[in-house]
C-alpha cells in the first residue's frame, strides 16, 4: 500500500472546491435517487460546487440525457430532506447532467465514456478532474475499476478518484482481493471507501467534543469510564432488500462498518493534527486494538437475533422469514450484539457493548458512556432512583445532541437525589440545517479530503474482528426467530450484559 504523505493531504479547514465531473455507476439505482442526486443538488443550491461541474450517470437502461434529467428531477423532489425546490437552481444544475448507457462488462462502454468525458470537459470546463462513484452491485466494483483502467481513464490531465460504496468485501480475504483489484488502477490515496456514518454531523462532532474541549478528555479512560453502549436501532425491516440482507445480516451490514467506525471515533487517541492521515491513523490504530475473540469468547460475548412475527395495534406484522425474497428457514441475523474490548492502556477491561437491529421499537442511534459511581456514598437516605451513575449520551439520530446525566438534590427537606440532565441540542443551539452525510462526504471527495473515509487497513482491521464471529455464527444453528417485531431484541443480549452487572439502556 503506498504511504500517504501527511504533508500533502489537506487540513479539513483549508478547503477549495475544484472543478470536476462525477461519474456515477449505478445511476438508475436506489442510492443515486435517494441520496446522491439530492445531495449534489443541495450542494449546488448552497453554492458549494465550483462552476465547472458535471455529472455523468451510467447504467444499463437506455435513456437520453433529457430523460435522465427528468428522472433525477423527480428523485430530487421526492427524496430531498428539504421541502423547498428551486426551479432555477435545478435548471442550472441539470444542464450539467449527462447519461451514458452501457454494461459494466462491455469494453465499449469505457470507450464511449472516455469520448463523452472529453466533450463534457470542453463544454463544462471540468479541468480533466474526474470522481468515479461505484454505486452498483458489489460484484461489479472490480470489473468497473478494471474497465476504467483498460480505457486509460484511471489517469488523465486532472486528478482521478474513486468512491466505493459498502460492502468492502464480505470477509477479510474478499476485502483484500477487492483492494488489490482497485489498486491496479487507483492508488490507495485515491480510493475513497464511503461509510456514511462518518459523514453524519453528530459523528464528526464527537471529535470536536473530545478534542476541542479540555474537560472531558481527562475522564476518557478506564479509570473513570465503567462501560460504553453503542446502539443503532431501526424500526424498519429489510424494506424490499430481503435478498441482499439475507446474505449480509446485521453484523456485516452495520457493525463491521458503521458501528466499529463510531466506536473507533469514540475511543481513538487524540490525533496530532487534523490532517486526514493523522486522524485516520488513530482510527485505524484503535480498530487494530480491538480484541479478536476466541470461539468460546464469541459464544459468551456476542448475540445474534432474528425478528419473528407479531401482532401490534391490531395489525399482523411479518417476521423476517416471511419477508419477500427471504428463505423461510433463514439463519440470517437481523439483530447483532457484541461485547468488545480494546486492548490498550486507555481502555483495558472496559466493555464496549455494541448492538443493532431491525424492527426494534424505534429508530435511534446513540452512544452512552457510563462513568464509575462516586467512590463513597455519603447520601445514605437517597431513594432507589437516586443511586445511579453519571452518563454521557451522544445522540447521533434522530434528536441530535449530547446530554450529561448527573444527580441533583430534590427540593425539600432531606437529601433526596434524583438524576437530571444537562442537554445540548443541535436544533435549538444552532437553528440551522445540518448537511446530510452524503453532502459532506461528496464535497470532501471533490476537495480531496479523505479524513472521513475508510482506508484499506481500517477495513481489514474491522473484518479481522468480525470474521471470527461470523464463522462461529455460521457453524451454529440458532433457534430463530428469537425476538418479536417491536421488542428490544433477544433476551440473550440482556443476559450478556447482566453477567457483568450491566443493563442496556432503553433510549
Ligand atoms: C445502511 C445499511 O448502510 O445503513 C442499512 O445497509 C441501514 O441496512 C442503514 O438501514 C442505516 O443508515 P441510517 O443513516 O438510516 O442510520
How does pLDDT run along the chain (507 residues), one tens digit per residue?
Answer: 445 555 566 667 667 899 999 999 999 999 999 999 999 999 999 999 999 999 999 999 999 999 999 999 999 999 987 767 899 999 999 999 999 999 999 999 999 999 999 999 999 999 999 999 999 999 999 999 999 999 999 998 899 999 999 999 999 999 999 999 999 999 999 999 999 999 999 999 999 999 999 999 999 999 999 999 999 999 998 877 877 888 899 999 999 999 999 999 999 999 998 889 999 999 999 999 999 999 999 999 999 999 999 998 889 999 999 988 899 999 999 999 999 999 999 999 999 999 999 999 999 999 999 999 988 878 765 566 666 899 999 999 998 999 999 999 889 888 888 889 999 999 899 988 889 999 999 999 999 999 999 999 999 999 999 999 999 999 999 999 999 999 999 999 999 999 999 999 998
SS3 state at 85? coil
Question: How far is ligand 1, taken at its centre, from the CA of residue 366, in Å?
Answer: 14
Question: How far is ligand 1, taken at its centre, from the CA of residue 259, in Å?
Answer: 11
SS3 state at 373? coil
pLDDT value, residue 383: 60
How is residue 499 annotated by DSSP? T
Residue whose Cα lies nearest atom 15 of ligand 1: it is 234
pLDDT value, residue 440: 96
Distance of CA 495 to the CA centre of its chain: 28
How is residue 383 annotated by DSSP? -
Beta-strand (E) ranges in 178-334? 191-193, 225-233, 302-305, 307-308, 310-312, 315-317
pLDDT value, residue 97: 98
pLDDT value, residue 6: 52
Of 183, 196, 258, 502, catalytic: 258
Is 196 a residue of the active site?
A: no
Burial class (CB in 10 A: 0-12, 13-18, 19+), 369: buried
Give the pairing of strands 310-312 and 97-101. unpaired
Give the pairing of strands 401-409 and 417-425. antiparallel
Determine the atom of ligand 1 nearest the C-alpha atom of 196: 14
Question: How far is ligand 1, taken at its centre, from the CA of residue 254, in Å?
Answer: 7
Are 154 and 23 spatial neighbours (Cβ–Cβ below 8 Å)? Answer: no
How is residue 251 annotated by DSSP? I
Ligand 1, pocket-test mutation among 202, 258, 366, most atoms within 8 A of CB:
258
What are the backbone angles phi and psi of residue 402, rounded to the nearest 5°? -135, 135
pLDDT value, residue 87: 94
Ligand 1: residues whose CB is within 6 Å? 196, 234, 253, 365
Question: How far is ligand 1, taken at its centre, from the CA of residue 358, in Å?
Answer: 10
- Residue 43 CA to residue 466 CA, distance in Å, equals 36
Cα angle 7, 132, 65 (rounded to 5 degrees) comes to 145
Ligand 1, pocket-test mutation among 38, 253, 360, most atoms within 8 A of CB:
253
The pTM of the whole model exceeds 0.85:
yes
Query: What's the alpha-carbon Rg for the chain, to the nearest Å?
Result: 24
Amino acid at each position: 500500500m503506498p504511504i500517504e504523505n501527511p504533508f500533502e493531504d489537506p487540513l479539513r479547514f483549508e478547503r477549495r472546491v475544484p472543478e470536476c465531473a462525477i461519474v456515477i455507476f449505478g445511476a438508475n439505482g436506489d442510492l443515486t435517487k435517494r441520496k446522491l442526486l439530492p445531495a449534489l443538488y443541495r450542494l449546488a443550491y448552497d453554492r458549494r460546487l465550483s462552476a465547472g461541474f458535471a455529472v455523468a450517470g451510467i447504467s444499463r437502461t437506455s435513456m437520453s440525457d433529457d430523460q435522465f434529467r427528468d428522472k433525477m428531477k423527480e428523485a430530487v423532489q421526492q427524496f430531498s430532506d428539504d421541502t423547498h425546490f428551486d426551479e432555477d437552481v435545478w435548471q442550472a444544475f441539470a444542464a450539467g447532467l449527462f447519461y451514458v448507457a452501457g454494461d459494466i462488462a462491455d469494453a465499449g462502454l469505457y470507450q464511449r465514456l472516455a469520448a463523452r468525458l472529453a466533450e463534457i470537459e470542453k463544454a463544462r470546463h471540468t479541468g480533466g478532474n474526474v470522481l468515479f462513484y461505484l454505486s452498483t452491485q458489489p460484484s461489479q466494483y472490480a470489473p468497473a475499476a478494471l474497465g476504467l483502467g483498460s480505457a486509460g481513464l484511471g489517469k488523465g490531465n486532472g486528478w482521478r478518484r474513486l468512491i466505493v460504496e459498502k460492502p468492502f468485501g464480505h470477509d477479510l480475504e474478499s476485502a483484500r482481493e477487492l483492494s488489490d483489484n482497485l489498486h491496479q488502477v487507483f492508488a490507495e490515496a485515491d480510493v475513497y471507501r464511503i461509510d456514511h456514518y462518518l459523514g453524519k454531523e453528530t459523528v464528526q462532532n464527537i471529535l470536536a467534543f473530545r478534542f476541542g474541549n479540555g474537560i472531558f478528555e481527562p475522564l476518557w479512560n478506564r479509570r473513570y469510564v465503567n462501560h460504553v453502549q453503542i446502539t443503532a436501532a431501526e424500526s424498519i425491516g429489510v424494506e424490499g432488500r430481503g435478498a441482499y440482507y439475507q446474505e449480509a445480516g446485521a453484523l456485516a451490514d452495520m457493525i463491521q462498518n458503521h458501528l466499529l467506525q463510531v466506536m473507533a471515533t469514540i475511543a481513538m487517541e487524540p490525533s496530532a493534527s487534523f490532517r486526514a492521515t493523522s486522524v485516520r491513523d488513530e482510527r485505524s490504530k484503535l480498530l487494530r486494538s480491538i480484541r479478536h475473540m476466541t470461539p468460546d469468547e464469541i459464544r459468551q460475548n456476542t448475540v445474534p437475533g432474528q425478528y419473528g412475527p407479531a401482532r401490534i395495534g391490531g395489525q399482523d406484522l411479518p417476521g423476517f422469514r416471511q419477508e419477500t425474497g427471504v428463505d423461510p428457514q433463514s439463519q440470517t441475523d437481523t439483530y447483532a450484539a457484541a461485547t468488545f474490548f480494546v486492548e490498550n492502556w486507555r481502555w483495558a477491561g472496559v466493555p464496549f457493548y455494541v448492538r443493532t437491529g431491525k424492527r426494534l421499537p424505534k429508530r435511534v442511534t446513540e452512544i452512552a458512556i457510563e462513568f464509575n459511581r462516586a467512590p463513597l456514598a455519603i447520601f445514605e437516605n437517597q431513594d432507589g432512583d437516586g443511586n445511579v451513575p453519571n452518563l454521557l449520551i451522544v445522540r447521533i439520530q434522530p434528536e441530535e445532541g449530547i446530554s450529561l446525566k448527573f444527580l441533583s438534590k430534590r427540593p425539600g427537606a432531606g437529601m433526596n437525589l434524583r438524576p437530571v440532565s444537562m442537554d445540548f441540542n443541535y436544533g435549538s443551539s444552532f437553528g440551522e440545517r445540518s448537511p446530510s452525510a452524503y453532502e459532506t462526504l461528496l464535497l470532501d471527495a471533490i476537495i480531496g479530503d479523505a479524513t472521513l473515509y475508510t482506508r484499506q487497513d481500517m477495513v481489514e482491521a474491522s473484518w479481522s474482528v468480525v470474521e471470527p464471529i461470523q464463522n462461529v455464527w455460521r457453524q451454529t444453528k440458532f433457534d430463530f426467530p428469537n425476538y418479536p417485531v417491536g421488542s428490544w431484541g433477544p433476551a440473550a443480549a440482556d443476559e450478556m450484559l447482566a453477567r457483568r452487572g450491566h443493563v442496556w439502556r432503553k433510549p
